[in-house]
Structure 1
Amino acid sequence: MTQGRRRSETRTPSIFWALALMILPVINLAVRFKITDADKFPRAGAFVMAPNHFSEIDPVLMGVVSWKLGRAPRFMAKASVFTIPVIGWMLQKSGQIPVQRGGSVRGSEPVKAAQRLVERGQMVVVYPEGSLTRDPGLWPMRGKTGAVRIALERGIPIVPVAHWGAQEIMPRYSKRLSLFPRKTVLVKIGEPLDLAQFRGRNLDPGTLNEATTLVMAAITQLLEELRGETAPDKRWNPAEHDQKETGRFEA
């Protein structure tokens, strides 16, 4: 069966139907999505979706975008969320991946779980920044290597995605939602990056950081197009700023 004729994941009965029934009515009332280049979003097969991250509401919005484009989203999510009654059970049943704060990426259970999704031809959403950006202008900060490690180890593409508008619904670090009046969220899908130039190389820190830099550059360019602005020349590096604030370097 060809990719174009394969049945959409959203049409296959699953626990995602229950999640969509709870989430979509509220989001559709509160948010108007304007998705550019939706045809670049793979409708079948395994891939890593790599969006920018600047609001706590981002995973919900990106999950809805994925669903609207015909894919069931599976995220790496904070392990603490899985302890919440009912919600934690639904997250586990829908294949979401718990990540312990401060846990190592290399050889970790989250990466192994993501690889199992890949083996089943499913997508996995990984925020390359690892947390909400700390850049004052909400531009993507320096990325971490988990997304490219999964892509390179499994030989699958990364699809960079940028979105803008979530800060109007839930500002960074805020716990307060502003659902009305209805907000517009702009989304731009990038060309899948297959990272072919890095295959066959040792996945040492140098290779992984080089590949991650390309991914972050692609996400940033998409965001520049959405915002009609130019990002700072130098990407925000949390480690450098922590060093300046504490007067010491922490590895």
Structure 2
Amino acid sequence: MTSTDDHRPQPLPITSDPARVPLRIANSTPVQPTYRRLVRFAGWLLRLMVDRDWDDAANLPATGGVIVVSNHISYFDPPNLAHYLVWNGRWPRALGKADLWQVPIIGRLARATGQIPVERGTERAKDALVHAREALEQGECVVIYPEGTVTADPETWPMTPRPGAARLALASGAPVIPVGQWGANLVMPGKHPGWPKLRPRRTVSFRSGAPVDLSDLQGRTDAEAEAQAGARIMAAVTELVAQLRHETAPADVYDIRVGRRVPRLDAR
């Protein structure tokens, strides 16, 4: 009989770069073979392209449903975020624009690895949160960018959130782990994909924070609760980004709906 402990993350070999630990050691949790092969190749490729500055993701639960929220700074950051999560023991199921599922190869891989399409602007958009909640109930790690798109802030700070992440968190009760990242935007800047700028060699940095406290809002479905939850989520992410940038975040926050920074909602 196989022990239930067999798939727990094993102690990692001592190394200055945790991403150089073999995947079979860093993450032995069962997953679709296609997903494991894809991640192994992507990890090798990313190690060639950039350096890494990761924390140990001590706040990321080793098992059970969890929502990971992060700032979105580049089309190059999703594979790097996945790299960070997989090598810290979790296989991400990310919510992404449904248009990607129509792209040859990318769409096939997204389906094969269980990623979750979001058909924004349609009646089916809410289905993504249904599928995400089902994934959480099955003990999965669900990744969502609260901003919904690559930031349009002129200085690449996190923007105001869309309601999806907060809505999912309040409905599911799953822990919400904020992750701040920086560096992918220097490899592929702007809101449009392009050729990566690999010289000079860049460092991609990640920090995770303590679970966002939403206990007083759990179970509520009103707009005020969702707005408050969203503000707390983005405040936690922004704090981590400020640490990585060694800067203080602006007093106001960019709102893509009006095309400028607006006062932040009190996140208390």
Fold match, TM over 0.5? yes
Contact 2:101-2:111 at 8 Å conserved across structures: yes
TM-score (norm 2): 0.83
Identity %: 34
Q: How much has 1:67 moved relative to structure 2?
A: 0.9
- Aligned equivalent of 1:60: 79
Structure 1 residues 122 and 56: alpha-carbon distance in aligned structure 2, compared to 1, 3 A threshold: same
- Aligned equivalent of 1:188: 207
Deviations 1:54-81 (A, max 9, x none): 1111111111111111111111112121
Q: How much has 1:13 moved relative to structure 2?
A: 4.8
Structure 1 residues 135 and 4: alpha-carbon distance in aligned structure 2, compared to 1, 3 A threshold: farther
* C-alpha distance in structure 2 between counterparts of 1:19 and 1:54, whole Å: 23
* C-alpha distance in structure 2 between counterparts of 1:29 and 1:65, whole Å: 15
- Runs (4+) off by over 6 Å: none
- Aligned equivalent of 1:35: 54
1:82 to 89, 101, 123: 101
- Aligned equivalent of 2:118: 99
With CA pairs under 8 Å and 6+ residues apart, which has the higher RCO, 1 or 2? Answer: 1
Structure having the larger proportion of residues in helix:
1
Q: How much has 1:5 moved relative to structure 2?
A: 7.4
Deviations 1:150-203 (A, max 9, x none): 111111111000011111210112412123443211111010124111124x31
* C-alpha distance in structure 1 between counterparts of 2:45 and 2:199, whole Å: 11
Cα RMSD (Å): 2.3
Contact 1:48-1:158 at 8 Å conserved across structures: yes
- Aligned equivalent of 2:68: 49
Q: How much has 1:40 moved relative to structure 2?
A: 1.2
TM-score (norm 1): 0.88
Contact 2:170-2:214 at 8 Å conserved across structures: yes
* C-alpha distance in structure 2 between counterparts of 1:71 and 1:91, whole Å: 17
Tell me the matched-pair count: 240
**Relative to structure 2, which stretch is displaced further, 117-126 or 78-87?**
78-87
- Aligned equivalent of 1:17: 36
1:143 to 158, 161, 173: 161
Which letter does structure 2 place at the counterpart of 1:7? R
Contact 1:30-1:180 at 8 Å conserved across structures: no
* C-alpha distance in structure 1 between counterparts of 2:161 and 2:96, whole Å: 17
**Relative to structure 2, which stretch is displaced further, 161-170 or 86-95?**
86-95
- SS at 1:56 equivalent: coil
Q: How much has 1:22 moved relative to structure 2?
A: 2.6
- Structure 1: 5+ residue runs without aligned partners? 243-251
1:215 matches 2:216? no
- SS at 1:74 equivalent: strand
Structure 1 residues 38 and 165: alpha-carbon distance in aligned structure 2, compared to 1, 3 A threshold: same
Deviations 1:180-237 (A, max 9, x none): 443211111010124111124x311111001100111111111111111011101111
* C-alpha distance in structure 2 between counterparts of 1:59 and 1:151, whole Å: 21
Which letter does structure 2 place at the counterpart of 1:10? N
- Aligned equivalent of 2:217: 198
- Aligned equivalent of 1:247: none
1:230 to 239, 243, 248: 248
